Amino acid sequence: MSILLVNLGNYANDSTGDDLRTAFEKSNANFTELDLTRVITADNLGTGAPVFKEKVGNNLKLRSLVEGANIGIAYNDTEITISTPDSINALYEDPNPTLSADLNLNNYNVVGLGNIYITGDVVATEFSGDLTGNVTGNVTGDLTGNVTGNVTGELTGNVTGNVTGNVTGDVSGDVTGNLYGNVVGNVTGNLSGNVLGNVTGNVTGNVTGDLTGQVYGGLTGDVTGNLYGNSLGVVTAIAGSTLVGTVTGNVIGTVSDISDHGLYELSDVDLITTAPSNGQALVYNSVISKWIPGVVTGGGGGGGDLDFGTFSSPSGFTLDLGAF
């Protein structure tokens, strides 16, 4: 109810105001109203930090708002304004953002143009971009971008980009890009790109690119695939090993073991057009600039002398020159 007013009349004892009983009834009713409805208290609404603390007697105690990092508080007679005094209203506006805990992507991606610079370990299931730093751990997935740093771990996936650094581990996948650095480990996959560095391990796959570096290891140590490209470096076999594949390119260097290869594989020998017969030798044909099967004739076109020089027959040894 509303507060009741006591009628005092126009002046004292003019009999127009409330009598004493009525006046005190209104007073009692007003005290009851104040006791029930005019008790001052406060509640904190919502789930945020509480502003109201407690009521002590007639004093309401409220918590103060304190400025935090990058937060400013301004107030006047009617308003309190909370703002960022340095005008940073989004993450991209912060010139040096930092994290105090792990960043959970919550199944979202980090997208946009730019680079990611990390000095620690990178743990991921897939790299689809370029790696410009050094990889000191193992790469078990596929590398589809370019690696300009060193890879000191093992590559068990496929490399479709270029590697300009050194690979000191084993490459068990296929390399379709160029290897500009040294490969210290074994290559069990196919090399379809160019190898510009040194390969000191074994190559068990096919090599379809050019080898312009020094190949000390498995190219002749234990190559089970084919070499289709050019080898401009020195190809050195490991003792007791052979080159199993076919060499269709040029080998400018030393091949210590070609026991599994025939003369027909040489670029200046033609044994396919004309098959050799018994007793024939290789003669050079200047028209086609190749060695071909033919008969070696002596003399100057029909006759001549065949001079063997002086021969001394040792004891128990005879020399049979056949018929002339």
Which of 12-26, 47-61, 191-205 is least confident? Answer: 191-205
Query: Residue 310 — left, alpha, or beta (φ > 0 → left; ψ -120 to 50 → alpha)?
Result: beta
Position with higher pLDDT, 75 vs 267? 75
pLDDT band at residue 303 using 50, 70 and 90 as cut-offs: low
Alpha carbon distance 309, 180 (integer Å): 57
What average pLDDT does the chain have? 75
The Cβ of residue 179 has, within 10 Å, a number of other Cβ atoms equal to: 28
- Residue 269: pLDDT above 60? yes
Q: Which whole number is the average pLDDT over 91-101?
A: 79
Q: Which whole number is the average pLDDT over 9-31?
A: 88
Q: Which whole number is the average pLDDT over 92-98?
A: 77
Cβ partners under 8 Å of residue 17, min gap 6? 6, 7, 8, 9, 10, 23
Position with higher pLDDT, 172 vs 40? 172
- Residue 200: pLDDT above 60? yes
Predicted confidence at residue 218, as pLDDT, reads 40
Predicted confidence at residue 116, as pLDDT, reads 79
Alpha carbon distance 228, 239 (integer Å): 23
Is residue 161 within 8 Å of 177, Cβ to Cβ?
A: yes
Predicted confidence at residue 259, as pLDDT, reads 61
Q: Which whole number is the average pLDDT over 299-312?
A: 58
Q: Quick check: helix, strand or coil at residue 179? A: strand
- Residue 295: pLDDT above 70? yes
Percent of the chain surpassing pLDDT 90:
3
Cβ partners under 8 Å of residue 253, min gap 6? 231, 232, 233, 234, 235, 236
Position with higher pLDDT, 257 vs 285? 285
Alpha carbon distance 215, 108 (integer Å): 46
Percent of the chain surpassing pLDDT 70:
71
Q: Which whole number is the average pLDDT over 137-149?
A: 78
Gap between the terminal Cα atoms of the chain? 151
- Residue 324: pLDDT above 50? yes
Long-range interactions of 212-221: CB distance < 8 A, separation 24+: 213/182, 217/186, 218/186, 218/187, 219/243, 220/255, 220/256, 220/257
Predicted confidence at residue 255, as pLDDT, reads 59
pLDDT digits (tens, 9 = 90+) for 43-69: 888 888 888 888 887 788 889 988 887
The Cβ of residue 177 has, within 10 Å, a number of other Cβ atoms equal to: 23
Amino acid at position 191, single letter: L
